[in-house]
Structure 1
Amino acid sequence: MTNDNHLTTADSWDSIWTGRRTNRAVTIVKQRLRQTRSWRQLLTDLLDSTGKPGQIEVLELGCAPGSMLVELHQLRPAYRYSGIDYAPGGLEAAEKALAAAGVPASLHLGDIRTSTLPSADLVVSFGLVEHFTDPAEAIGYHRRFLRPGGMAAVTVPNYSHPVTARLMRRFCPETAAAHNLDIMSTEQMKAAFERAGFTDVRTGQAGGPLLPCSQVRPGTLGAMYSITSRAWNLGSNFVPQGWPWASVIWGTGVSPEPADA
């Protein structure tokens, strides 16, 4: 997707997704942590936010590398899932992840600004809209794929705390450049949903205080920060969730019914 409003490129995501490896031992440990339990509870709440009984259609925007679709399916296997992404390598990784997990989801390569897909009851994104200079515009893209009265659910990482923001700019400058911190508060999330035309907007936060530790600057200081941040993130499982900041900001909104409905 080539777009002045976008802070990343398909090539940059492909380099991340195709180079990522899964460590099964680390995955098992993470599943037992309070941060993970909090995250999975949030996902469950978002999946159930439509209030519709039975099977619903769920579409994930920016679905590479497929891990979120796998997790969503584990939580609500009766739902029907699909995903769209503009990074070919990332979508290939998603196809492999879904096949390995036995998840029957349909995947689409395309630009969320222009692609046409069947309408869904729930359109979700996880860590997508903060990669745009105008997150409200990105949230508005969710409406393109929703049935009238359908629900959009968005989460973004919370790097807006002064400590987090300063450390990220110092030790993870590439990560800092790819993220718009302006959307990382419940107030700004609510305002963005409303600007995008959604109604019945709800926002909140979840998780404990995490430090960014991706794309750490090379060198001795970077290595020290990487070790420290990972230790901090592990320790955040043992402090009150949300203190002194939350790791995730979320928002939901309803796509309005047509005026003549």
Structure 2
Amino acid sequence: MIVTDFDAHERSRWAGRAAAYERSFGRLCAYPAEALLDAAGVRAGRRVIDVGTGPGTVAARALQRGAEVVAVDAEPDMLDAARRNAPGAELHEAVLPHLPFPAGDFDAAVANFVLNHVADPAAAVAELRRLVRPSGQVAVTIWPTPQPPLQRLWGEAVAAAGVETPADLPRLAPEHDFPRTEDGLTGLLAAAGLTDVRCLTLSWEHRADPEAWWDGPANGIGTIGLALQRQPTAVRERIRQQYDLLSARYRDNDGQLALPTAALLACARAA
């Protein structure tokens, strides 16, 4: 299997960071879990695969519904967390778009914020389509563009501190990219041969402790985490100061952040 620079970079951003992810971005990414499972028709007796399970959040929710759950992730540290959080799931270390399961092996396939992190989203969706039986359901979430305020906050803090985002990061090849909109995600699923494609935008306010929310990038998670790691201590402190200033507008009376955000949720049926 060919590993692109983009794939290798993405894996490096998550390696060994499961605990930091759970404390920060993990809570954010958990929000659509129930809606994702509803869209995929996950219920008791259904066999479902959770692709890119991370710490097992979606897998655990599927187990609570009485489903038979298989969960895969490319990062061993994430699988260790999933083993704790979803002890009834069958776990495998595996990487899109080549997963070690027969065609039509599942009633449903779900991928929560996974397509944001693969070099070939169309190939990833085609693999999800391959895994489900005829009339099986596929459901995915991604972050949209333009970015909601929550996602913009990090870039605004870096820019306000006079720091440029690293220019040498691997980028998704233009021929593999797609519009991160309802129409763009719908088109991606339809192009994979899925039918009855639907997409909606989920909007909510993510509540977080300001320190916990800073903790993710401070531990190297995501592009912003890489930008922080590359800076000397004085510059990181300057970015932190701007983060405190810009995030103040989102603080409740109890000092917690209430950050407006959104995600795209799409589901479809295998023919």
Fold equivalence (TM over 0.5): yes
- Match status 1:152 vs 2:153: no
Q: 1:259 maps to what in 2?
A: none
Q: 2:161 maps to what in 1?
A: none
Give the number of aligned pairs. 232
**How has the CA–CA distance of structure 1 residues 48 and 71 changed in structure 2, closer, same or farther, with 3 Å as cutoff?**
closer
SS in structure 1 of the partner of residue 72 of structure 2: strand
Distance in 1 separating the partners of 2:60 and 2:187? 30
**Regions of 4+ moved over 4 Å:** 18-23, 50-54, 162-167, 177-183, 228-239
Q: Give how far 1:88 is off.
A: 2.0
Q: Give how far 1:253 is off.
A: 1.0
Distance in 2 separating the partners of 1:68 and 1:233? 28
Residue pairs, 1:211-230, within 5 angstroms = 214-215=216-217, 216=224, 217=228, 219-227=236-244
SS in structure 1 of the partner of residue 204 of structure 2: coil
SS in structure 2 of the partner of residue 136 of structure 1: helix
Contact preservation (8 Å) 2:43, 2:67? no
Select the residue among 95, 105, 124 that pairs with 1:111: 95
- Match status 1:143 vs 2:129: yes
- Match status 1:194 vs 2:190: yes
Distance in 2 separating the partners of 1:71 and 1:51? 13
Contact preservation (8 Å) 1:159, 1:165? no
Distance in 1 separating the partners of 2:239 and 2:68? 42
Q: Give how far 1:144 is off.
A: 2.4
Q: 2:265 maps to what in 1?
A: 250
**How has the CA–CA distance of structure 1 residues 232 and 158 changed in structure 2, closer, same or farther, with 3 Å as cutoff?**
farther
Contact preservation (8 Å) 2:22, 2:55? no
SS in structure 2 of the partner of residue 152 of structure 1: strand
Q: Which runs of 5+ in 1 are unaligned?
A: 257-261
Q: Deviations over 1:35-73 (max 9, x none)?
A: 89xx75x53343233558742111111112223322343
Q: 1:90 maps to what in 2?
A: 78
Contact preservation (8 Å) 2:55, 2:78? yes
**How has the CA–CA distance of structure 1 residues 169 and 237 changed in structure 2, closer, same or farther, with 3 Å as cutoff?**
closer
Q: Which runs of 5+ in 2 are unaligned?
A: 159-163, 207-212, 218-223
Q: Deviations over 1:137-195 (max 9, x none)?
A: 22222112111111110011235338755953873947xx5886844211111111111
Contact preservation (8 Å) 1:2, 1:9? no
TM (norm. structure 1) is: 0.70
Q: 2:221 maps to what in 1?
A: none
Distance in 2 separating the partners of 1:97 and 1:179? 32
Q: 1:208 maps to what in 2?
A: 204
Hey, which of these two has a bigger chunk of strand by percent?
2
Distance in 2 separating the partners of 1:138 and 1:195? 12
SS in structure 2 of the partner of residue 208 of structure 1: strand
Q: How large is the Cα RMSD of the aligned pairs?
A: 3.9
**How has the CA–CA distance of structure 1 residues 252 and 166 changed in structure 2, closer, same or farther, with 3 Å as cutoff?**
same
SS in structure 2 of the partner of residue 12 of structure 1: helix
Contact preservation (8 Å) 1:7, 1:178? no
